Structure 1
């Protein structure tokens, strides 16, 4: 399924008034993981109040031990500090990488802003080397802009 075909499905999930926010985000994670071949783990991390750490939110994929990530640690922690997209074509080339699984070869993390403040991020792991393009970044920015409306 193309990103353009997925956009209305993303919006449909997020518009359901009788569904809890956590459930919407979980459905969204499954939608992306199930419809984009190289998205092997899709999840959200959110800032833990005023603490400089991220807490794991809804996700689709293998369970992870990384439920709390300090700011600056790993790709997600770096995005929490930089407020910028981070695309990692090959995780083995990153010094500050937290390995979730030996099968993960690449990662993309896009910050989630609400009222100009970084409240979290969407994190995607792939078992494929260098699959992410500018199209992934633009699509995930769209996803996060839609998710931000829930807050």
Structure 2
């Protein structure tokens, strides 16, 4: 799927102010998971208040037991501390990886900022090794910017 073709659809979903933000985020996850071949699981985690943990707010794909992730644990927990994109070409090579499914081969996590603060992230799992490129990173950063603008409004 061409990312440019998805952008208008995503903007339309995210800007539906008559729906609560979690509903919109779930629709974003559903769209990405169904329209991008290598996006087998898509989720949004957000910082849990002042606690050093992330809470899963919306996702598409197989249910996960990892609804709360402490900062520093797994790829998501590392991004919560580093504030940097993290692309994992082969999850089996990561010591600090939390396995959500035995089928997952690669993962990308992009932080979501609001007013300069890392408040969450989008997390994508793929059942294909080396599934993510710089184009995926840029696109997902764009998605997070759209989400952030709605949270700011």
TM-score bin (small chain): over 0.9
Task: Quote the residue 1:73 is aligned against.
Answer: 73
Task: Quote the residue 2:18 is aligned against.
Answer: 18
Provide the alpha-carbon RMSD of the alignment.
Answer: 0.5
Write the deviation string for residues 32-87 of structure 1: whole angstroms up to 9, x where unpaired.
00000000000000000010000111000000000110000000000000000000
Task: Quote the residue 2:90 is aligned against.
Answer: 90
Distance in 2, matches of 1:74 and 1:16, equals 32
Q: How many residues align?
A: 151
Write the deviation string for residues 5-41 of structure 1: whole angstroms up to 9, x where unpaired.
0011110101112111111000000000000000000
Task: Quote the residue 2:107 is aligned against.
Answer: 107
Distance in 1, matches of 2:15 and 2:44, equals 18
Distance in 2, matches of 1:32 and 1:75, equals 20
1:149 CA drift (Å) = 1.1
Question: Secondary structure of the equivalent of 1:63?
Answer: coil
Task: Quote the residue 1:8 is aligned against.
Answer: 8
- Following TM superposition, the consecutive aligned residue runs of length 4 or more in structure 1 with deviations greater than 3 angstroms are none
1:117-136 superposed matches below 5 A: 117-136=117-136
Distance in 2, matches of 1:92 and 1:17, equals 40
Q: What's the TM-score once normalised by structure 1's chain length? A: 0.99
Distance in 1, matches of 2:38 and 2:14, equals 23
